[in-house]
Amino acid sequence: MNERELLDGYLLLGGLLFAIGLVGFLVRRNLIVMFLCAEMMLQGVAVSLVAWSRFRHNWDGQSMVLFIIAIAACEAAVGLALILALFQRSRTLDVAYWQDLREPGQSRRVDRGVPEERREERIWPRLTPAGVMPREDQDKNKETHRARV
Amino acid sequence: MDRIGPLLVVIPAAPLISAVAIALLAPRLLRGIREFPAFLTIAAFGVSLIASLLLLREVTYHHDHVGPGSPSFERVVRLWTWADARDAYWQRPALPSDDPRAESPIEGGSRDFTIDIALRADALTATMLVMVTFISTLVAVFGMGYMQGDRGFWRFFAYVSLFVFSMTMLVSASNFLLLFVFWEAVGLCSYLLIGFWYGKPSAASAGKKAFLVNRVGDFGFALGLFLIWTTYGTLDFHSSARVRSDDGGSERRILDSLTTVPAGATGVAWGVLSRDAESYRHGAIGLAICLLLLVGACGKSAQFPLHVWLPDAMEGPTPVSALIHAATMVTAGIYMIARCTPLFTASPEAQVVVACVGGFTALLAALIALTQFDLKRVLAYSTVSQLGYMFLALGAGTFAGVTSGMFHLFTHAFFKALLFLGSGSVMHAMGNVIDMRRFGGLRKVMPITHWTFLIGCLALAGLPPFAGFWSKDAILGAVHDRAHALSGAHAAHDATNLAAHGRERADDGGTRVVEPGEGVWTLWTPEQAAGVYQWLYCAALLTAGLTALYTFRAFFMTFYGARQIPPEAGGHAHESPAVMTAPLVVLAVCAVSVGWFLDHSYQSDPSYLPGGRASSGNVLGDFLGYAPQLAGGAIAATRTPGRFHFDVAAISALIALGGIAFAAFLYLEDRREADMASAFLRFHWYRRMLDADSIARIRRWKSVDAVNRWADRLRLGWLARIVGRGVLVVVWVVTVPLILTQFASPYRLSQDKFYFDEIYDWTMVRPLRWIADLCAALDRWVIDGTVNMVGRIPVVTGNLMRSLHIGLLPFYAVSMALGVLVLVLARTLWGS
């Protein structure tokens, strides 16, 4: 396999990743999924950067990808914290919920809400307090959130 | 070496320390000690007074030891250099002129702009310092009683201390710029003290009025200073020379009474007021300088046409009226013109203008004072009138004129302060009522005030033993002599100078009349000027009579007649406390004695001073004669042996007596005569002549009736009708003056102050307000409008974009993706 074919393959991969991410970002309304899609676009770009770098025997692209990864990690932390905060206010991950932030005088564009979650599906993770040994669930029979994901 | 330097510093320093200490300590730290500001102020003024008296003694000592060659004495003390700009002034070397006296040689080359904080000691300064500190000490004592219980007690004394500091600096400054600075500072203190009771709208507006009217004068003064700088290249009064010292370093030394260029001098700067008499500018420049300085003096000394602020300034506390608006600050203009005598002698036309302004103001203010009912306002107009006298004296332009003006300033300070403090005492007892119609017959209630006020009135009216008589007589005599000298000089000139100077006059076309010891007349002939002075002399005599009349009108209305006490007095009207009457008594003693104590012209033959100069017969005049501005130059040539003008004195005393007698006739017993006189001067008879009753009375006259019937019988009714119509026209012609008499009868003119306030309101204040309104509208609608329009651009754009903000995140994402797509496409299609 020569260098050129290798490059083509990686660029195709990067392009696919970016396209999937973009489509996902545009069509999904779940905040976390949208966030994942955005990450996917980022990774697609990173892959193509690495590929070009390899092809041109130039380390600039790879070193830039290291920066991108680092920054993506920070961004993920900030983004997830924001999503968590938004969720705690609205109790939903639907991004259409936040269309209430639109300019006054505009009508609602999305009136079809997400399907209501059934009450029995509401199983929330129990977070262990910091510095304490996590305990096993006492009730082995009861479904935990882990089982459902 | 000598004590003049420290004394000159101590005199202004003590009031300054007092002012600062009171302002810093009294309102906060020493709130409990109520009397602290008063005691500190009195102590500081006392220190200044003692220092001034010591300075007077030093100056007198030096006068006795001046060398025979230099009859003048001045001592300049330089504290530090305030401003120093190298080579600020450059003028071409003067071209050789045909007439050396017309274009005086100004030193060519460059000159530094150096302003020293320089204080001077000479006869004029010493006199003013003693007068200012003496009056202010007494006023401070009086104020301690008068201001008792006022909320602004400490503020009053802080302001007064600041004023005395500024005033002492003003009279001892040896530099025009420094003079101007403290000229403004006394104006500031005056403003603060007029508006002392700032809660009262009339007081606040009176303060503003005084400040703004003074700005007009100060503007002229500042222009005069600029012109002096460009003409003479310095602003110092004194000459100075830069002398290289022996050790090689260059040092600047101020030389007193510099008359010749000293050996080793590298730069000699002749002061504006101490240069050679030949080197003063004549002609248009000299005249302009003098007139601009006169404008400044008119503002400060309340002369026509800037006299309108002083009567309103009576809104301030009465001690302030006595100190600032009668005795000291308003005389700053007189002092300045007396100080600038060399400039004024170089321009005789300016002197005529000064005299005219003074004489006219004296007469005008005296006429207004006749009908005012506010006791302090009467005194204020009398101050304006007396200041007019002083200007008249200064305008006479002779040595006798200038010294008599200063003499009148000196005596006037005592008796006018006395009168004002007396009126303050009356106000204090009457519960701040000052309208003379509301009280009367107070002579038993307030005996000390009554007697001291009487002395002040007699001095103001100018009766023989009192102070005002001597100074007023000196002024009248000086003006009289000036008129005679001018007409005589003209005659003598034609006779003698024609032969001697025939060739010169032929050369310059005979247009200029040059008299030794006289200035250069360019606009008028001396003969015309003599006529002007003759008229001014008559006006001054008339003013003397009016002065006696209005003074004693106020006196009789206040202290005689039926006893009447306003309810504001609270039923316990009484003589003021000793702290207020003691200054009155001291001032009364001065008002009696200071005139005959200083003026000896009536008892001695013309004598000669050491140095062969003629004595003016007046201690103060001889003393002032040592001031460098009066000792040399053209003014000294007009010095004549003083003689007592028995004729002038007799006439003026008789006129004053007549005025007093007339006032007694009008106002003493019942006021019927006064009412009749005022009705007559309101043209009541004229109006009564034309009302319906009197016309009906005319028709009832038998002769008129007979003429009517006779005309009917002869079928000449048409003739009667024509005559009747003619009468109608006449009536119309008469009606216009009738309407005018409502406003323009002598009485109304006087009572409404000749409508000066209204005239200024319509010609100055309102047009200025219209312009200001126009500017405000332009600012609001044009300039602000443009700015606001720029600010509205984002709002409009934002409104257009508003519909895109629908709050749906995917929509934004799609827009962004499409936008990127468009950009990428564009780059691909059209990019290089």
For residue A88, the domain's CATH number is 1.10.287.3510
Asked if B482 and B394 sit in the same domain, the reply is yes
Give the torsion sign (CA, A127, A130, A134, A135): negative
B802 chain-A contacts, CB cut-off 8 A? 103, 105
Asked if B391 and B512 sit in the same domain, the reply is yes
Q: Do B293 and B337 form a contact (C-beta atoms < 8 A)?
A: yes
pLDDT for the residue B260: 61
**Structure letter (DSSP) for residue B745:** S
In a domain, B358, yes or no: yes
pLDDT for the residue B101: 41
Contact B814 A26 (CB under 8 A): yes
pLDDT for the residue A89: 86
In a domain, B298, yes or no: no
Q: Do B628 and B74 form a contact (C-beta atoms < 8 A)?
A: yes
What is the chain A residue with the closest CA to B814?
A26
A100 chain-B contacts, CB cut-off 8 A? 807
Asked if B422 and B513 sit in the same domain, the reply is yes
Last residue of a domain, one of B662, B677, B692: B677
Q: Do A76 and A39 form a contact (C-beta atoms < 8 A)?
A: yes
Asked if B740 and B801 sit in the same domain, the reply is no
What is the chain B residue with the closest CA to A99?
B807
| A99: nearest CB among B802, B807, B813 | B807
Interface mutation target, options A101, A111, A112, chain B, most CBs of B under 10 Å: A101
Asked if B331 and B191 sit in the same domain, the reply is yes
Chain A closest-CA separation from residue B811 CA (Å): 8
**Which residue has better confidence, A88 or A149?**
A88
Report the predicted TM-score, pTM, of the whole model to 2 decimal places.
Answer: 0.76
Q: Do B443 and B569 form a contact (C-beta atoms < 8 A)?
A: no
Note whether B800 contacts A: Cβ–Cβ < 8 A: no
What is the chain B residue with the closest CA to A22?
B817
B803 chain-A contacts, CB cut-off 8 A? 103, 106
A83 chain-B contacts, CB cut-off 8 A? none
Asked if B403 and B550 sit in the same domain, the reply is yes
Contact B809 A34 (CB under 8 A): yes
In a domain, A134, yes or no: no
Angle between helices B447-461 and B646-667 (to 10 degrees): 140
| SS3 per-residue string spanning chain A | CCHHHHHHHHHHHHHHHHHHHHHHHHHCCEHHHHHHHHHHHHHHHHHHHHHHHHHHCCCHHHHHHHHHHHHHHHHHHHHHHHHHHHHHHHCCCEHHHHHHHCCCCCCCCCCCCCCCCCHHHCCCCCCCCCCCCCCCCCCCCCCCHHHHC
Contact A26 B813 (CB under 8 A): yes
Q: Do B398 and B482 form a contact (C-beta atoms < 8 A)?
A: yes
Contact A103 B806 (CB under 8 A): yes
Instruction: Using an 8 Å CB-CB cutoff, list residues of chain A that contact chain B.
Output: 22, 25-27, 29, 34, 95-96, 98-103, 105-106, 109-110
Q: Which residues contact B651 (CB under 8 A, 6 or more apart)?
A: B541
Asked if B43 and B187 sit in the same domain, the reply is yes
pLDDT for the residue B468: 87
pLDDT for the residue B513: 41
A15 chain-B contacts, CB cut-off 8 A? none
Asked if B739 and B827 sit in the same domain, the reply is no
User: Which residues in chain B come in under a pLDDT of 50?
Assistant: 1, 95-108, 250, 497-518
Instruction: Give the span between the Cα atoms of B13 and B792, in whole angstroms.
Output: 59
In a domain, A13, yes or no: yes
What is the chain A residue with the closest CA to B817?
A22
Range of the domain at B649: 347-566+575-677
In a domain, B251, yes or no: no
| B810: nearest CB among A26, A103, A106 | A26
Asked if B420 and B541 sit in the same domain, the reply is yes
Chain B closest-CA separation from residue A136 CA (Å): 40
Q: State the pairing for strand pair B109-121/B240-244.
A: unpaired
What is the chain B residue with the closest CA to A103?
B805
C-alpha distances in Å from residue B61, one per residue of A86, B3, B48, B58, B73: 98, 12, 20, 5, 10
Note whether B727 contacts A: Cβ–Cβ < 8 A: no
Chain A closest-CA separation from residue B816 CA (Å): 11
| SS3 per-residue string spanning B218-262 | HHHHHHHHHHHHHHHCCCECCCEEEEECCCCCEEEEECCCCCCCC
Contact A25 B813 (CB under 8 A): yes
| Phi (first) and psi of residue A120, to 5 degrees | -70, -15
Contact A102 B811 (CB under 8 A): no
What is the chain A residue with the closest CA to B806?
A102
Asked if B351 and B338 sit in the same domain, the reply is no
What is the chain A residue with the closest CA to B798?
A103
The total of structural domains in chain A comes to 1
Question: Is the previous residue joined to B305 through a cis bond, with omega within 30 degrees of 0?
Answer: yes
Burial class (CB in 10 A: 0-12, 13-18, 19+), B252: middle
pLDDT for the residue B161: 94
In a domain, A139, yes or no: no
Range of the domain at A93: 3-100
Contact B808 A96 (CB under 8 A): yes
Last residue of a domain, one of B677, B712, B731: B677
In a domain, B423, yes or no: yes
In a domain, B279, yes or no: no
Contact A29 B810 (CB under 8 A): yes
What is the chain B residue with the closest CA to A29?
B810
B805 chain-A contacts, CB cut-off 8 A? 102-103, 106
Contact B808 A109 (CB under 8 A): yes
| A103: nearest CB among B802, B814, B817 | B802
Q: Report pLDDT digits (tens) over A33-90.
A: 999 999 999 999 999 999 999 999 989 999 999 999 999 999 999 999 999 999 988 8
A12-41 burial, b if ≥16 CB within 10 A, otherwise e? eebeebbeebbebbbebbbbeebbebbbbb
How many contacts, defined by CB atoms under 8 Å, are there between A and B? Answer: 39
In a domain, B321, yes or no: yes
**Two tokens at B40?**
């500190």
Chain B closest-CA separation from residue A132 CA (Å): 40
pLDDT for the residue A67: 94
What is the chain A residue with the closest CA to B811?
A26
On the CB side of B481, how many CA atoms lie within 13 Å of its CA? 25
**Does residue A25 carry a pLDDT above 90?**
yes
Instruction: Give the span between the Cα atoms of B136 and B144, in whole angstroms.
Output: 12
pLDDT for the residue B705: 73
pLDDT for the residue B512: 40
In a domain, B294, yes or no: no
In a domain, A140, yes or no: no
Asked if B462 and B332 sit in the same domain, the reply is no
The total of structural domains in chain B comes to 4
In a domain, B753, yes or no: no
What is the chain B residue with the closest CA to A106?
B806
Q: What's the complex ipTM?
A: 0.76
Chain B closest-CA separation from residue A51 CA (Å): 21
Contact B806 A106 (CB under 8 A): yes
Where do the DSSP E strands lie in B463-621?
Answer: 513-514, 520-521
Asked if B592 and B651 sit in the same domain, the reply is yes
B811 chain-A contacts, CB cut-off 8 A? 109
pLDDT for the residue B502: 41
Last residue of a domain, one of B677, B693, B716: B677
Partners of B457 in the beta sheet?
Answer: none
Contact A22 B807 (CB under 8 A): no
| Phi (first) and psi of residue A105, to 5 degrees | 95, -10
Instruction: Give the span between the Cα atoms of B426 and B445, in whole angstroms.
Output: 10
Chain B closest-CA separation from residue A117 CA (Å): 22
pLDDT for the residue B628: 82
pLDDT for the residue B129: 94
| B807: nearest CB among A25, A26, A102 | A102
Contact A26 B805 (CB under 8 A): no
Chain B closest-CA separation from residue A23 CA (Å): 10
